[in-house]
Structure formats: C-alpha cells, structure tokens
Amino acid sequence: MSRLRRDLRMERATHRIEGTPRPRFDLAAMLAATPAAAGRLRRDPRGEERLALVPGTLRRRLDRTQRVAASAVAAPAAAVAEMAPKLVVIAEPAYLVAVVPDAPGGRLTPHDRQVIGAARLLADAGGGAVLALGEMPGEDLAAAGVDRVLGLPVAGYDPEARAALLHAVLDGLDIRHALLPESADGADLARRLAALTGETLFAGAESLTAKAVTRAAQGRRIEQRRAPPRLITLAADASAPHGGAPHEAIPVVFALPALMPGAILSAEFVPADPARVGLDEADFVVSAGNGVRDFTAFRALVEALNATPGASRMVCDAGLMPRAAQVGASGTVLDARCYFALGIAGAPQHLQGVARCEHVVAVNTDLHAAMIERAGLAIVADAQKVMPALIEALTGALAVEAQP
C-alpha cells in the first residue's frame, strides 16, 4: 500500500490542552489538521455556542440568530446556490397549453391558480409551455407557473369579443389544450368558444392528469372518464396550484384580428349591496365574536368597510346577530376573498368555515388564540378599542379624498 495509516490516538494527543482536570482538546486545531472528506467543513458546536453567548447577562443566554448565521457561513457555496430559487425557462416548447383565467381586478384568484397548476401538468408531460391569455401582472403569472403571456385588448364586459379573439388564437398558435375555470365568466366563455370552434367541451372536470380527465355525471352516480380534449373547464379545488420554481412569463407577439361590433352595445357591472348578500356569496366578511360588546360600533364599522356582517355561534346563540350571519361548519362555510374576525377565539368549527378564505385578519387580546394563528394579519388588542379607531381612520381617509 502506498498510503500511510493514520495514528488517530497520536493526532488527538498532540491537540490535548494541559492543565485541565478533565481531558480537553483544541477542536479548532483538530479541524484544521483533518482533511475535508468531501469539501465540507466539520461543524464546531462548542465554537458556535461561544459566538452565540450574549455578554452582560446574569444567566447564560444565547443569540439564536448568530447560530443560524454561523451555520449559513459554514455551509458550502454549492448548497447555498441550490437553495436559491431558479427561474424555469422553456426556450422551444413542443406545444402550448392555453389558460384563460378570470382575474377579476387584474389579480389571480385561487381558482385561477388551480387552473394554471392543471395546465402545468399537461405542459410538463410532453415538454410544452403554459400560455396565459389576458391582462394580468407578470410577477403573479411567473410565480403561478406561466411561461408565455398574450394580452387580449378587450375592455369591460364583452364575452363575444373575447371569444372571437380566443378563437383566432387557437387557430393561429400550436395550442394542444385550452383550460378555463368553471366559474360564471369562465364557463360562459368556454361554451361560446366551443360553439365557435365546433369542438367538444369537457365541462366541470374534477380531476385532471396528462392521460385522463374525469367528472361526475347523472347525479354523481357515475364517473365520466376520457383522454383530455382540447377544451376543458376545471371545477374549483380539482387541482393543486403550481408550487415549484417560478417561470419566465414572457410576452408573445401575435397579430390579433380587428374586433367587429357585436350584439352587446354596452354593459355595466352593478355591485350588489353587501349588507343584503348571503355569506356564501360575500367577498368581504366582517364577523363579531364574544369579544365584541358594542354592536352599534360593529355595524358602523361593517358599513364603513362596505362589507357583509357575520358572527360566531356564541353571538348568534345570544340573539345579538341573526342565525343567517353565523360563520362556521354549523353555519355558513365562506368562500370570501377577505375575512375580518373581531374578538373571535377560533373554535375548530369556526375555522372550518373560513378555511377557503384567501386572506384572514384577526383582532384578539389572546396572542395564542387559534384565530390569531390562522390569520395572515393579526392585531393583538381589544376589539372594542380597535373598532372606533378604524372608523375614525376610515372617516378621515374619506374626508381627504373628498377634498378638491
């Protein structure tokens, strides 16, 4: 053998610290003398602990952020590079999978992200790319998993013009599948597009893979299954949104045809009165819990926020709010974009009722309340003091906007 055998006992003895009652060794010198097996330095836990000690304290205190920083410095550069998010680029896709999200107000809904996630499955199965059709921010589309973006110059509510432009895009580009959400606008647009193209529409798909698409039929007694056609509408919660690395979402150049005047001369969106909308259709819900005692201020806040009033079961049982306003598994399960909970601790049944809400804001005095943990924005304070402060802030903002 040409390699000398190491004497580990001798190496350890050379680094022994003399003058200590118990055997102690200089770990820094030992680590420096030990060759790295795979280019990775060995950790020194005692050295990290010495660096993390907080000086000037009576009891032994450690700064955990220093330990994290030390570990990050010790990590190899290649591992840090692998942890950094990468941008997925598909330079020459084999085909395109088109997605037409609703995007109310120019932002993607959870249903839209699920449809893009399903399109991502169809595209990744054969080296394709996802094409989003509509006017939306590129940052949101990139994080959702979109590779290409093509804007549709349609202002306001004009489904005929949108269907005509989509028909031209399907004829002019190599689009293998076109996915739309099974919503009020998406379902109407998909059926108009099917009538223009003469192709079969698989509506309300409840599961989708690269090889099969399924849905329930005949009162959910049977299941229809077939290979994915070209036109598909996806039901809510039928697919998971894209959770991988962001894609590039670059614009696509395509000559869209000129729009011809249709049967709809003018259309205007008339918002419903949120005070009269049911909880199952509300977009913004403000609920009162056991921590709310002044319901006059609560109703004033709901009106100032232009929201729909809700309540917990304890408030409804006490007769302070009608039973139709109860939120939870035994009341109404919400599908709102934002839920504002005032003085609600967060029982399991109540949390089930807000599980599908996109944003949750909670006000409670208990830092460890379940609703505080569920909320994306939490205010640890008394709801009785927060309500008049919010009303005053809203009134001042409206007065400033009214000034010339």
List the structure tokens of 372: 């505080």
List the structure tokens of 391: 């009303």
Residue among 67, 72, 77, 134 nearest 104 (CA): 134
List the structure tokens of 322: 């009608």
Contact 384/396 with Cβ under 8 angstroms? no
Amino acid at 5: R
DSSP class of 251: E
Amino acid at 67: R
Indicate if the pLDDT at residue 359 is higher than 60.
yes
Question: Each residue of 119-143: pLDDT tens digit?
Answer: 999 999 999 999 999 887 778 899 9
DSSP class of 281: G
284-288/207-208 β-pairing: unpaired
Contact 147/90 with Cβ under 8 angstroms? yes
What are the domain boundaries of the chain? 41-84, 96-251, 279-402
List the structure tokens of 71: 């570990």
Q: Assign 44 a pLDDT band (cuts: 50, 70, 90).
A: confident
DSSP class of 288: E
Average pLDDT over residues 267-287: 89
Q: Which residue has the higher pLDDT, 48 or 1?
A: 48
Residue among 182, 134, 136 nearest 162 (CA): 134
| Cα(358)–Cα(30) distance, integer angstroms | 54
> Domain spanning 279-402: which CATH class is it, in words?
alpha beta
Residue among 282, 283, 288 nearest 300 (CA): 288
Contact 201/231 with Cβ under 8 angstroms? yes
Q: What is the pLDDT of residue 352?
A: 95
Average pLDDT over residues 225-234: 96
CATH code matching the domain that covers 96-251, chosen among 3.30.70.580, 3.40.50.620, 3.30.300.20, 3.30.300.180: 3.40.50.620
The sign of the CA dihedral 129, 133, 135, 136 is negative
pTM of the model: 0.70
Using CA atoms in the order 30, 36, 40, 42, what is the torsion angle rounded to 10 degrees? -20
DSSP codes of every residue in 112-144: HHHHHHHHHHHHHTTT-EEEEES---HHHHHHH
Q: Assign 225 a pLDDT band (cuts: 50, 70, 90).
A: very high
Indicate if the pLDDT at residue 163 is higher than 90.
yes
- Cβ count near 117 (within 10 Å): 22
Q: What is the pLDDT of residue 116?
A: 96
Among 134-143, 179-188, 295-304, 379-388, the range scoring the smallest mean pLDDT is: 134-143
Q: Do the domains at 96-251 and 279-402 have one common CATH topology?
A: yes
Q: What is the pLDDT of residue 35?
A: 57
List the structure tokens of 35: 């060759």
Q: Which residues have C-beta within 8 Å of that of residue 56, sequence separation ≥ 6?
A: none
Indicate if the pLDDT at residue 206 is higher than 80.
yes
Cα 309 → chain centroid = 25
250-251/377-380 β-pairing: unpaired
| Cα(352)–Cα(340) distance, integer angstroms | 15
| Cα(319)–Cα(174) distance, integer angstroms | 61
Out of 41-50, 250-259, 346-355, the most confident range is: 346-355
Q: Which residues have C-beta within 8 Å of that of residue 18, sequence separation ≥ 6?
A: none
User: What is the pLDDT of the chain when averaged over all its residues?
Assistant: 87
Q: What is the pLDDT of residue 135?
A: 80
| Cα(253)–Cα(295) distance, integer angstroms | 56
Q: What is the pLDDT of residue 332?
A: 95
Beta strands in 1-117 (DSSP E): 16-17, 24-25, 96-99
Contact 76/155 with Cβ under 8 angstroms? no
Question: Each residue of 380-395: pLDDT tens digit?
Answer: 999 999 999 999 999 8
Q: What is the pLDDT of residue 25?
A: 73
